[in-house]
Amino acid sequence: MHNKAFFIAIKSAADIATLILYVFMRYIALPVLLASFICQTVVSQDLSLASPDGHILFHLINDPGGIAYHLNFRQKEIVSRGRMGFEFMNEPALGTGLSIVKKETFQVRNSWYPAVRNKHARMDDWYNSLRLRLKEDTGLRRSLELEVRAYDDGIAFRYKLPAAAGIGDRVITRELTGFPFPGNAKAWVAQYGGYATSQESEFRPVWLRDLTRQTVAGLPMLIEVDTSVFAAVTEAAIDHYPGSYIGSDSLQDGRVMLTTRLAPLPGEPVDGAKARFDDSVYTPWRVIMLAESPGKLIESGLIENLNPPCAIKDPSWIKPGISAWDHWWSGEVKMDMPTIRQYIDLAASQGWPYMLVDWQWYGAFNDPRADITRTAPQLDMPALLAYAASKHVRLWLWLYSSDVNRNNNYEKAFALYEKWGIAGVKIDFMDRDDQQMVDWYHRIIKAAADHHLLIDLHGAYKPDGISRTYPNLLTREGVMGEEYSKFSNRITPEHNVTLPFTRMLAGPMDYTPGGFINVTPEEFRQGSPTQVKNTRVAELAKFVIYESPFTVYCDAPEHIIGQPGADFLRLVKTVWDDTKVPAGYPGKYIVVARRSGSRWFIGAMTNGEEREITLNLDFLPKGNHRLVSWEDAADAGTHPQNLVKKTRRITSNTPLRITMAKGGGFVAYLDQQ
């Protein structure tokens, strides 16, 4: 095992150091020179850490050039001398001239059971860990702690930064963490261009060598190192620290150094203050997910594993599900009693537990006069709540972030919503992930949990796994979703089959699927009612493929009731006991199989090309199964709303043939007989 080799190497280095110490003390007696020599011996150590299965090997280097790391996957070098360290305001950089003063290694074999099952009912948190304390040899003699975890599906490391030496804040201006990958690797990059962003963009394929110093790319970043190695760079457990982005610096030997770029504090230039802290602080986990196929990355629970356990004592009140939505997407805004009742009726008829009352329910928003504790004059909230309860539906409320934050309005409002019986709140238009905004997220999520409110964040930054700690945060946006079909032509089949391999690697995404006015790309026109450029079956498949415990259905009642495919949306779930991704490639196609109880659901989508797939069903239990499917009709390439529903019997040994039209899909469920 690599771990065994690591321990042998350390023991050998210690023995050599002891022998040298004896010789010097015995014969030379130069204590000052000796101390310097021993320090050089320690900092030149090459420490190694392997994943439990031995396929991932992390090497930490601490030499006069500074601390750095190498990363191997299945005996292939993936990262070569990745940088580590920090730059601060009004003090020297931290990362060179360090000695290892303490080292711990240990193994963790733990399993936990999520309160909300995004993809697996049981999460195995298995890793090997290395913890180091390093200290500067000269100067300020600051300490830096580093923890590394090696999992079978990736590597993660984080720093613990020291508190300020005097009264006041320590200020980070730059994090030096780098990820040097081969320049000929392909990456799927969301170019945001800045740090005040809703993180809604395409992930476009580019060669790493074509990135520039002006790049401000979002996370996760998927990288195809070669045809058998896929990596994804992202972060987990962001707390009292800014969100990070990816920049680019060229290196020699054909490698590109992907650099960490932190969101600056409000009012600061891009090279100014990023984080202020007066006590010691943990950075987020820097994560490199690794697999032999891109679909295996989707199955991973690494991001959730890197977060603290559930902080809610009894999370049994947290109930995921599908919601109807009285949104401008399906028509013009009509914030009145009859319209809201119509959408409550839609939820009831489909068996969905929720209905989301969107903007203008409290009148003016993003306005100093806005009052999120009072309904607009034309609405009778007690009557709406009573009507919804009579239909076994609960209401969610939309809120503008500045109205929530003004004078700590959320404290009073959340208590009132709990009294009303509101299920949850959707908070919108934060569009930042600097340190102050990250702290705001934590306050809001915790306050909502204290009042038994579920959360959906829009205008949000990417997930970081905090839903493990606060599972009342069911989903968030931070994705270029279905709403863009309303006012652009950017939602394409290619985009739809890229998202699961990129943005969704970070966690749930509120894409708001369900457009039932399906047209060809040639027929597509922006406006109302909103059209979508994929088949009806591809739209159904999004409910299986896209991860979101709170899934918001986007279309109007008149477009779904009685229409082909509506019956599938009465059956599909939003949480899952197991997830498999047997096939797919970003931008081309995807197949996802998810289990709820004993029933398996399969969802597949393709890009703008017709596609036929033969799927191995070896993930099913042995024996006979009844398969009920919704498939593209023979003419779905020209009439995308057309589908065929089929029922047949198969065995777990029967290959499943899936045929999809251009922009098409496939959905099915399987019951064992």
Among candidates 366, 370, 324, which has minimal Cα distance to 343? 324
Out of 29-38, 183-192, 327-336, least confident range: 29-38
Residue 142, SS3 per DSSP: coil
- With a CB cutoff of 8 Å and minimum separation 6, the contacts of 538 are 493, 496, 518, 605, 606, 632, 660, 663, 664, 665
Burial annotation 632-649 (CB, 10 A radius, 16+ → b, else e): bbeebbebbbbbeeeeee
Helix (H) / strand (E) containing 485: helix 484-487
Residue 7 has pLDDT above 70, yes or no: no
Lowest mean pLDDT among 129-133, 490-494, 651-655: 651-655
Question: Judging by DSSP bridges, how do beta strands 394-400 and 589-596 pair with one another?
Answer: unpaired
Nearest residue to 315 (alpha-carbon basis) of 123, 464, 457, 452: 452
pLDDT at 196: 95
Contact yes or no for 508/463 (Cβ under 8 A): yes
What domains lie within the chain, and their CATH numbers? 44-305 (2.70.98.10), 488-548+564-673 (3.20.20.70)
Residues 395 and 422 sit within 8 Å (Cβ to Cβ): yes
For the record, the structure tokens of 324 come out as 């109807």
Query: Has residue 371 got a pLDDT over 70?
Result: yes
- Short-list 575, 626, 583, CA closest to 606: 583
- Record the tokens describing residue 542, joined without a space: 């999004």
Q: Please check the confidence at residue 36 and state whether its pLDDT lies above 80.
A: no
Closest Cα to residue 330, out of 86, 515, 579, 77?
515
pTM comes to 0.93
Mean pLDDT across 647-661:
96
| pLDDT average, residue stretch 173-183 | 97
Where residue 14 falls among pLDDT bands split at 50, 70, 90? very low
121's CB contacts (< 8 A; 6+ apart) are 113, 114, 576, 577, 578
Residue given tokens 């290959």 in the structure block: 655
d(CA 433, CA 448): 19
pLDDT digits (tens, 9 = 90+) for 140-155: 999 999 999 999 999 9
Structure tokens at 618: 């070896």
Residue 120 identity (one-letter amino acid): H
164 class by beta-carbon count within 10 Å (0-12 exposed, 13-18 middle, 19+ buried): middle
337-350 and 381-390 are packed helices; what angle lies between their axes, rounded to 10 degrees? 20
Rounded-to-integer distance, Cα 540 and Cα 513, Å: 8
Angle at 239 between CA 244 and CA 133, to 5 degrees: 90
- Measure the CA–CA gap between 270 and 173, rounded to whole angstroms: 9
For the chain, the C-alpha Rg in angstroms (whole number) is 27
Q: What is the mean pLDDT of residues 287-311?
A: 98
**Residue 253's pLDDT band (boundaries 50, 70, 90)?**
confident
Instruction: Give the residue-averaged pLDDT of 385-397.
Output: 98
Identify the pLDDT of residue 45. Answer: 63
Asked whether residue 5 carries a pLDDT value surpassing 60, the answer given is no
Residue 480 has pLDDT above 70, yes or no: yes
For residue 291, the tally of other CB atoms under 10 A from its CB is: 21
Residue pair 547/118 in contact (Cβ under 8 Å)? The answer is yes
Closest CA to 515 of 489, 487, 534, 492: 534
For range 36-42, the mean pLDDT: 34
Rounded distance between C-alpha atoms, residue 548 and residue 212, angstroms: 34
Instruction: Quickly state the pLDDT bin for 328 (edges 50, 70, 90).
Output: confident
Q: For residue 330, name the pLDDT band (cuts at 50, 70, 90).
A: confident
pLDDT digits (tens, 9 = 90+) for 571-613: 999 999 999 999 999 999 999 999 999 999 999 999 999 999 9
Q: Can you give the pLDDT at residue 42?
A: 40
| Per-residue pLDDT, 191 | 96
pLDDT of the residue at 250: 81
Please state, rounded to an integer, the average pLDDT across all residues of the chain: 92
